[in-house]
Homo-oligomer: A and B are copies of this chain.
């Protein structure tokens, strides 16, 4: 929750110059090219030369702006994290009580799945890197999901305070709910191959979100 959105970005790695207008445009084209390629190519098969050429520049230029491909993906992930903050409002604004609660769960599920879909290739790499113990990827994954988890934990805590002692750690419960959302979002395609229809998966997720958040049986 720092004040500036980004610390003026990184200084140019190669020679410590501060990029001017033209430089920033090149950097942006490289980021977009990276995102593009990530949608059609497995991460390990990404070639710097392809990214650079598609951006109308050369590999050497790529290394002027990013230390390696990871750095470019991390930059994309930070942009995605910014975009993801609107999910938080969806949790905070909706009412989680009674019949409306299930609607809130459905809304959150839909918004989360859409969010993941918009940034799928990047988030895949973030997940993989984070799982492998890479600090940088872990940090950005936290940044992606932290506010949402905290807000859900607040809701869960409020439900407990309202009389229903669920006997759980709100943070742990929220984290598990968010993990379900992220897991299903990531594997939705796989579930489909498996014979699970997306609409059914969506409903099942929303039920789990509802149950996990309110401690109530979901409506049938």
> Hey, which bits of chain A sit against chain B, CB under 8 A?
42-44, 124, 127-128, 130-134, 138, 141-142, 146, 149, 165-169, 171-173, 175-177, 179-180, 182-184, 186-187, 189-191, 193-197, 200-201, 203-205, 207-208, 211-212, 215-218, 220
Residues of B within 8 A of A138 (CB): 190, 193
Residues of B within 8 A of A169 (CB): 196-197, 200, 203-204
The residue that A131 contacts in the complex, of B124, B149, B193, with Cβ under 8 A, is B124
Among residues of B, the one whose C-beta sits closest to the C-beta of A172 is B200
Binding site of A, secondary structure by majority: helix, strand, loop or mixed?
A: helix
Number of copies: 2
B220 touches A165 (CB 8 A): yes
A203 touches B44 (CB 8 A): no
Query: Given A132-B42, A165-B220, A216-B217, does the pair A176, B190 have CB atoms closer than 8 Å?
Result: no
Residues of B within 8 A of A171 (CB): 195-196, 200
15 of the cross-chain contacts (CB-CB < 8 Å) are A124-B132, A131-B187, A138-B193, A171-B200, A172-B191, A173-B204, A175-B191, A176-B180, A176-B205, A179-B184, A179-B191, A180-B180, A180-B183, A183-B183, A217-B217
